[in-house]
Structure 1
Amino acid sequence: MTPGAVAIVGLDCVFPGAPDADAYWDLLTRGADATGELPEQRRAGHGFDESVHGGFIEDIATFDNDFFAISPREAAAMDPQQRLLLQCAWRALENSGRSPSALAGSDTGVFVGVMGTEWAQLHMSDYARVTPQLGAGSSSGMTANRISYHLDLKGPSLAVDTACSSSLVAVHLAVNSLLSGECSTAVAGGVNLVLTPALGLVYARMGLAAPDGRCKPFSADADGIGRSDGVGAVVLRRLADARADGQRIYAVIRGTAVNQDGRSNGVTAPNRWSQREVVAAACRRAAITASQVRFVEAHGTGTALGDIIECAALGELHAVQREEPCGIGSVKGNLGHTEGAAGIAGLIKVALALHHRIVPASRFATRENPQLRLAERGLRLLKAPVRLPAEEVFAGVSSFGMGGTNAHAVLATAPREPRTPAPRTGAGPAVGVFTVSANTPEALRRNLAVQADAVARRPRGDAATVCWNSNLVKTGLPYRAAFTARDTAELATALRAAADDERLRAGIADRAVHPPTIGFLFSGQGIQEPGMTSGLYRDCASYRHHLDTADEALAPHLDGSVRDLILDEDPAVHRTGWAQPALFAVGYALFRTLGDLGVEPDAVLGHSVGEFAAAVAAGALGLEDAARLVARRAALMERLPDGGGMLAVRARPDDLVELLADEPRVVVGAVNGPADTVLSGETDGLDRIAAQLHERGIRTRRVRVSHAFHSPLMAPALDRFAEEAAGIDATAPRVPMASTRYGHMLGDRPLDAGYWKEQAARPVLFAEALDDLMAETMPACLVEIGPGPQLVQLAERAGLPSGVRLLLPVPGREATARDFAETVATLYRAGVEPRWQALYEPARRTTECLAPYAFSTEHTFWQTAPRRTDRTPETAGPQPAAATTAATAGPPAEETDPVPDPVLDAVIEAIVEVGEYPPERVGRQTRLYADLGFDSVMIMQLKDRIEHRLPQTEGVTVQQLLPALRSVGSLADFLSEWTSAGART
């Protein structure tokens, strides 16, 4: 592996006639012409006449400002180049197989090539209309900074202007930053929009403009430059890192170089010798000779002088003995000259060509310019597509700036990675969880529809790999949906149904504000079944590993394997000597499997024997000690005489006092809820009580146990059990643990021998323990850790707070990995960020490309150039409206409070004015930072406008305001308190 190699792992672009990378490749392979007339939208007020021809992106006014939490006012003031780049960078990062949200806070660098400030020329000349938003929005330096800011990337962030070579120079800087260790991931790109005729006039007056607005590189018909729009970005990583992480690699950058023409025939004239040297330098850094380069994506503007000089420079290197001439071409023949984005347009073309192993034909190649003398220079125009061989292939990309800054990159095909065949388990396709997230409910619906269409276009097959890629890419945003699936047809149907049915979507989608607090409830005896969790053991490698581990820990203390007992569906699992170790093993394996997925408990509670696995989960017992205690407890209890049992009664303990007084050998064994009591004692006494309760219409049920647990009948076994427990290494729980022995949280009390003796002898106070756990830790999710429904049913009858989710990873003996995955899907929707790799076999964890995020196109931001006025800048009061927007897709404001609140009304009015939000967007619960994208400039503007509406707040400082800016309501409350305090004094 080449030490200096950098992998292109993701890309995205928008070019004329090509709204995405797939469309771009299609345009190239068809040899299509993407040039046309300037869109009508850009003509008014921008100085263009009616006959402008070139390569233009049809719609540059739409922008999903809500997605990036940018106010309408700021979005309208932003150069459309900044807006296009933000969305392009997001999609490129997704295309690299990583969620952009996951890179927040990382050292990811951003390098952007941008040429010219036409937006500033249009909008900064009317000094009276200048605002802070317009100042930032017109700065070319902000093109990279916007990406770093909104994605929270902490690596280098810079914009580069070397004229037409800007974006390839940006790639060069990104490569060097990666190789120096300055960043571990880099986004490099370029952008260009034709917003004024100024540069076109410059080309015309220099004799460089094509009369028909088309570039015709290397053609006998070449007569100048046609201007073009474009935006593109690539995601770069060091090759070794990309391969280690299993990322898809489009191509490998083996070497780059940048130089300058120096003093030549003029500052704008190309220099043949410098162009030759920059190509040679890139080849040296790639450790290859020019003769190894199969084709070159040339600068190729279609100017007579430029094409001649470039071909002469390439001929200096390629006119050597070689098997076949080096192919040359230029994408400018398809698009026009994208200027600041020209280098990235060429780089993406070459990366796609190497990835698909086909070099597209070049437009205008059929009438070769004879003055170029291509054949004698070892060069040829590609008149038809060329299929590349299977071995490693090298290609070059050139980009030359008008001022003399030249750049060249040498690329190679990606190394072939060995594919691991999918495991054959005999259980059919593996289950996966497909995730989709978005910033609003409407955006979620839109993206569900896009993913449904994309999945439906795939050949029917295993869905696990597709799901795995969605877990890496489509996560992190607040509105979430998740679907379990085994094949792509099933997945496409589920996605389409959710996209089309609002009620169905409401049932499978949630808004995740922050990670939820999770409580684990460990099942007790009576829920065991022959063969319990055997389906999960078959399907889930993580569960297999942890059940095997628990079996190994129990084996020295048992007369066989508890794992084999379970998998063989042996009815002996109902015997106490096996039931308790089996339940412990299942509980341990389940909580550890969830832990592998990143699902950790914030509090635990165990019912009777379930407390042993709960104690391990809480860090109060080690696995070996817990396994020994459970095995010894089970053995000692099984040796007790028969004749005892337990009876579940739908009644309160107080309702049973008289009956228990007549049966001294029966006691309360467990209090599971307000009307869920379990009696324990001699069988005859339980039968008599059951008969009397039946006459009263009170339901009872015999618990499937062999002895009267948690009753005085346990006494003969407890002293010996305490002796066994005396040597354990007991500590206080590290995770909050509710004790069903005491009916409350344990705090820092260690679980010593005395505790375990009392725990076996005394009643199980599950209801009280659950109440205290809920009060102390307020979990949003309660997950039963056991082989079936036991505790979730009790919790459901306990009158929990609304909104608490009750989850059951294993709903019964027939449960499979799909049931387990459904729980993980629900937790993801609630805000958990799972470690998804534990859900998939390594062979399923391969890279596949998903449809990119579908941004909203409902918001339109466009303004014509203002006329110059002599007014002075406004420092306060309303600013002119600068945008037209469709209905916002942001989080809706709540209904207006029926109680008049003049302070709240004034705050809302001021916020609407500062950001030019639709009034219905702003309500009491709206968050200023997360929902509205407020920054320090907007805060200062807001303070001025509040003081204008509420003069009594004039003494409030910005420092005093800052803590109150959590939401609109918190700000209004603070100002109300301030004004009230002022009135009292």
Structure 2
Amino acid sequence: MKRPSRDPAARPAIIGIGCRLPGGLHTPTGLWEALHKGETLTGPIPQDRWARMSGMLHADQQPDRPWTAALIEDIDAFDHQVFGINAHEAAEMDPQQRMILEVVVEALADAGIAPSSLDGTRTGVWVGAANVDHATLGLAPGEQVTMVTASGVSHAILANRVSYQFNLRGPSITVDTACSASATALHLARQSLEIGEVDTAIVVGSQITLLPSVTAAFDGAGVLASDGLCRPFDADGDGYVRAEAVVVTVLRRLGDAQENSDRIYSVVRGSAANCDGRSPAGLYAPNPPAHEDLLRDAYADAGIDPAEVDYVQCHGTGTKAGDSSEGRSLARVLGRDRDEALPIGSVKALLGHGEGAAGLVGVVCTALGLYHSVLPPTIHHTRMRPTLSRLPLRVVTEPEPWPRSGRPRVAGVSAFGFGGANVHIVLEQAPDVAPGGEDRSGGETHVVPVSAASHERLAATAAARAPVVDAEPNLASVAATAQHRRDHAEVRAAVVAATPAEAAAALRALAERRPHPALVPARTAARRPGPLAFMFSGHGSQYDGMAEYAYRRFAPFREAFDAARAELAAVLGRAPWRPGEPVADFETAQHAIWLTQLAQTAQWRHWGYRPTAVLGHSLGEVAAAHAAGALSLPDAARVVAARSALLAETAPLGGLLVTDLTPGAAERAIAGQGLAGTLVVAAVNGPETVVVSGPEEPLEALRASLEEQGRYARRVAHDVPAHSPAVEALLPRLRAALEGLAPVDTEGTVFHSTVAGGPVAGSRLDADYWVRQLRAQVRFTDALTSAVPADAAVVEIAARSTLSRGAVQTLAGADRPEAVVIGAATSGQPDHEAMLHQLAQLHTTGRPPERWLTAAATAPVALPVVWQRGTEDAPEQTADLPAVLADDRPDPDAVRLALVRLVADTVGSPAEAVDSSEPLHLLGVTSVAVIGLRDAIRSAHPSLAAFPVHVLMDTATDLATVTDTVTGLRVGRAH
């Protein structure tokens, strides 16, 4: 066979592994540890499985003692709701279909591929399987066969179910070449990747044993091990042990994997497939010349001298004929010109013979050996078969360092079908990558999102991930994996932390449903998030050290800050405040607040957040007007410079007092002190948050009086009597300073004025507006209710939060309690960390950023996937409909409630979310789901065997109609 010319970058790379294997092995790490430990995972068939298999044998096939097998503990466990599959359909599905779905998700997670990223892509699915037990049971005489049954038993659906579930548009093929099926699937996937037919390949090997018949046949033929142990190439080996396995590999072209910084277990250097043809010893016997041809073809395809192969993972079943034929073929093709014997082995000694999955199991074990540079051992081997003892072969019985050769590590994997279909896969060590593992994050704060389909799953996921995160030295890699390489499910939380230990502690808190400073609490994200509003704080949000961390950490923040500072310097004729300098007076505070707000806005835009509405409190209106596009940067700088300089002149005249009074109570308190006309309500920040402005002595008198009454009253740092009669003398000068201001109308963002208490066109924010704004009361609550509908999220743009508490109260009082207010930093919280908390909160509301902070190009961390599985009962037991219909005259309300539960399960939603007055199609009952719903109703009681499907198909049908039809048929009324 002539090897085609290939670009090395086009060779497939194994980047993800998932498995469901005997012994509770559910991860690549667990499998590798089991290979090292070397304790057999085969044993007598458990009583519960034997009960499932009994009653199907002829008397002369009954074994003298229980057969030995390597079985997966619970093949019925399935988290059907995560996949949107109702319990009725799940109960009809081949267990292989159920496990394949879950293990594919696990393999994609191991590869660092979010399933949604494959939606609509030319991703191919190849499944190797050789078991028809479920079809035999499902299609047995007397069994009711529906479309759900048909899809549940079909071999084609093993692959098609994956392609359907994730909307994959590449080839979707189930392969059955008996014990070489999964290796054949990998061979076909390799070709598809190399020719560019697909960019991602999902290859599956699956084997489940439900019936004893084939086991009995193999036992009768003498191919099963008499002592229940599989001993490949051993003198005492006399057969194999059957096994179950579901294993998945995810492959991409090497160049693509390297560009994406994927973890690469190994490269598929080449492969070949052939057939024994007319084997001299019969259909089931090996044909050594064909095996030799297979090896030569595979290494010619790989472009590798057979003498350079370091190790072969053999088919190695432990049968005399099979081992002898395979060993002689290896010696003739790979054993020549060697200084030392060729190391060989077979994982079947540990895991049993997975038949349809066996080839891929061997590939995975060998890929792990290449990745870790260790030869995987073969247990139960003590001495070579006499027929092989003189050949240049040796069985690796203990974990050994991979032989050093000065070239990439190379291994072969063989899989032979009992009908003669053979495959050999050539694996090569992945190219070396730069050393990793050290913490390159520099102690920086990262956002680690975590999500699941329910709060229960979220708690379990957090608990499972906490120890993994704690042991991972590089929190940046954890964050990048969680941000870019995972889908974000409906129930979301997030961790904002600087160290793995802190992140792990927050995850444990999430698991235990308790608060933690680094934890953004769980929330159900909106499926269709409402609008986003920015609210800009006014004076009082300043503090020494503000913006310092964000300026250093965020490049967009820093660039915007520097640009705004340059414009402000041009207006002032001097250098304004910069982060790290003290905020010593009113004017400096005003500049610092404005500069910080513009920089924060730029950072939010960099993350992809563009508000549909903005509002600002006093000074904050200037940044809001610029954010909306109404004021250019030079014009905004002019407003800030003139406004702050003039207001600073009033500092000796008075100041501001924040109170917990309502507007009416504040007016009464002022009048009660005889200060009406001297003190004024300058701002209404909430239903019980009012700011009073005026001269110093009256203001202090009011403060003392309120404190005596036990009320909250606090002066604002670096304050002036803004929005009071004290500023009226400044207004002509402000108008002159802002002459020629050129505001424009905004596009896409509405400016909500705290002067007007509602929306104002951008072009109206001229000099006259800012003159009025300096004196007018700040109607913040009116502007907020105008800007924020019930489904909106509001982000406070400030160095420190001053508005969020009042905003929450305002929106709650305006019948908008579901609107989300995301406050700025609290006292003592670093500014950049506070922005990341805000970012994380927005993500939990269903508004993820367009750009996450942590770069995607980092190798994935193996964050566990957690399932909430249960054994699938019959659908009627789940819905309780048969129990309700057992009554001769069932209560219609009880029937309706049972149908509500049945529909909820069908559409994968909580029963409380099903509105029985809504038409079924609006509840999510699709035409396909109708079939399962009809079958569940018909099977609930004999009187419903003729339940008419057109009732469910009618677009006007609701659960009241279905209830009436079901009840009528049960009591014998015609419908």
Q: TM-score range by the shorter chain?
A: 0.7 to 0.9
Unaligned runs of 5+ in 2: 1-6, 881-889, 967-975
- 1:666·1:686 contact (CA, 8 Å) conserved in 2? yes
In structure 2, the residue matched to 1:469 is 481
| Residues 445-482 of structure 1: per-residue CA shift (max 9 Å, x gap) | 333332344456x38x6645434434445652223333
Cα distance between partner residues in 1 of 2:633 and 2:326: 72
In structure 2, the residue matched to 1:175 is 190
In structure 2, the residue matched to 1:586 is 596
Q: CA deviation at 1:786?
A: 0.3
Distance 1:276 1:550, change over 3 A: farther
Q: CA deviation at 1:432?
A: 3.1
In structure 1, the residue matched to 2:973 is none
Match status 1:37 vs 2:28: no
* Equivalent in 67, 92, 110 of residue 82 of structure 2: 67
- 2:128·2:204 contact (CA, 8 Å) conserved in 1? yes
- What letter is aligned with 2:49? R
In structure 2, the residue matched to 1:897 is none
1:511-910 alignment runs, 5 A limit: 511-514=524-527, 516-517=529-530, 518-538=532-552, 543-552=557-566, 554-559=568-573, 561-562=575-576, 564=578, 566-571=579-584, 574-576=585-587, 578-621=588-631, 623=633, 626-627=636-637, 629-631=639-641, 633-634=643-644, 643=653, 645-646=655-656, 648=658, 650-652=661-663, 656=667, 669-674=682-687, 676-678=689-691, 702-703=715-716, 704-706=718-720, 708=722, 711-726=727-742, 730-746=744-760, 759-760=773-774, 762-774=776-788, 777-798=789-810, 800=812, 801-812=816-827, 815-834=830-849, 837-838=852-853, 840=854, 845-850=858-863, 852-857=864-869, 859-861=870-872, 881=874, 905-910=894-899
Distance 1:651 1:439, change over 3 A: closer
Q: CA deviation at 1:124?
A: 1.0
- What letter is aligned with 1:740? T
- 2:751·2:762 contact (CA, 8 Å) conserved in 1? no
1:250-649 alignment runs, 5 A limit: 250-265=265-280, 266-372=282-388, 375-376=391-392, 379-388=393-402, 389=404, 392-419=408-435, 429-455=443-469, 458=471, 463-472=475-484, 476-500=488-512, 508-514=521-527, 516-517=529-530, 518-538=532-552, 543-552=557-566, 554-559=568-573, 561-562=575-576, 564=578, 566-571=579-584, 574-576=585-587, 578-621=588-631, 623=633, 626-627=636-637, 629-631=639-641, 633-634=643-644, 643=653, 645-646=655-656, 648=658
* Equivalent in 19, 28, 31 of residue 25 of structure 2: 19
Mean Cα displacement is larger for which, 79-88 or 54-63? 54-63
In structure 2, the residue matched to 1:939 is 930
Secondary structure of 2:825's match? Answer: coil
Cα distance between partner residues in 2 of 1:200 and 1:184: 39
In structure 2, the residue matched to 1:960 is 955
| Corresponding residue pairs, total | 922
Distance 1:255 1:699, change over 3 A: same
- 1:532·1:813 contact (CA, 8 Å) conserved in 2? no
Secondary structure of 1:510's match? Answer: strand
Distance 1:946 1:11, change over 3 A: closer
CA RMSD of aligned residues (A): 4.4
- 2:343·2:395 contact (CA, 8 Å) conserved in 1? yes
| Residues 514-549 of structure 1: per-residue CA shift (max 9 Å, x gap) | 264443211123322232132444455664455445
Cα distance between partner residues in 2 of 1:674 and 1:916: 44
Q: CA deviation at 1:119?
A: 0.7
TM-score (norm 2): 0.83
Match status 1:229 vs 2:235: no
Cα distance between partner residues in 1 of 2:851 and 2:894: 46
Cα distance between partner residues in 1 of 2:945 and 2:654: 76
Cα distance between partner residues in 1 of 2:707 and 2:191: 82
Cα distance between partner residues in 1 of 2:155 and 2:324: 32
Secondary structure of 2:14's match? Answer: strand
Cα distance between partner residues in 2 of 1:674 and 1:56: 65
Secondary structure of 2:955's match? Answer: helix
Distance 1:257 1:568, change over 3 A: farther
Cα distance between partner residues in 2 of 1:36 and 1:883: 35
| Residues 558-594 of structure 1: per-residue CA shift (max 9 Å, x gap) | 4455463x312242xx342x43332222112223334
- 2:662·2:689 contact (CA, 8 Å) conserved in 1? yes
Q: CA deviation at 1:785?
A: 0.8
Distance 1:292 1:742, change over 3 A: farther
- What letter is aligned with 2:398? A
Distance 1:320 1:674, change over 3 A: same
Cα distance between partner residues in 1 of 2:459 and 2:785: 38
| Residues 156-213 of structure 1: per-residue CA shift (max 9 Å, x gap) | 3332222212112222333333334444333211110122233334445655443344
- What letter is aligned with 1:394? V
Secondary structure of 1:44's match? Answer: helix
Match status 1:198 vs 2:205: no
Secondary structure of 1:41's match? Answer: helix
Q: CA deviation at 1:756?
A: 5.1
| Residues 754-785 of structure 1: per-residue CA shift (max 9 Å, x gap) | 655654564432121111122xx324532211
- 2:616·2:622 contact (CA, 8 Å) conserved in 1? yes
Match status 1:119 vs 2:134: yes
| Residues 619-644 of structure 1: per-residue CA shift (max 9 Å, x gap) | 54555654465446545665789747
In structure 2, the residue matched to 1:8 is 14
Q: CA deviation at 1:235?
A: 1.8
Mean Cα displacement is larger for which, 535-544 or 939-948? 939-948
Cα distance between partner residues in 2 of 1:847 and 1:930: 40
Cα distance between partner residues in 2 of 1:368 and 1:288: 28
Distance 1:512 1:663, change over 3 A: closer
TM-score (norm 1): 0.82
In structure 2, the residue matched to 1:873 is none
Secondary structure of 2:251's match? Answer: strand
- What letter is aligned with 2:592? A
| Residues 631-676 of structure 1: per-residue CA shift (max 9 Å, x gap) | 4654566578974755556452797499699987877654434455
1:209-228 alignment runs, 5 A limit: 209-228=224-243
Identity of matched residues, %: 34
1:55-94 alignment runs, 5 A limit: 55-94=70-109
Q: CA deviation at 1:139?
A: 1.2
In structure 1, the residue matched to 2:172 is 157
- 2:122·2:169 contact (CA, 8 Å) conserved in 1? yes
In structure 1, the residue matched to 2:887 is none
* Equivalent in 188, 197, 214 of residue 203 of structure 2: 188
- 2:229·2:380 contact (CA, 8 Å) conserved in 1? no
Distance 1:652 1:188, change over 3 A: same
| Residues 778-827 of structure 1: per-residue CA shift (max 9 Å, x gap) | 24532211011211133144252334443223224652444333333333
Cα distance between partner residues in 1 of 2:91 and 2:140: 17
- What letter is aligned with 1:652? P
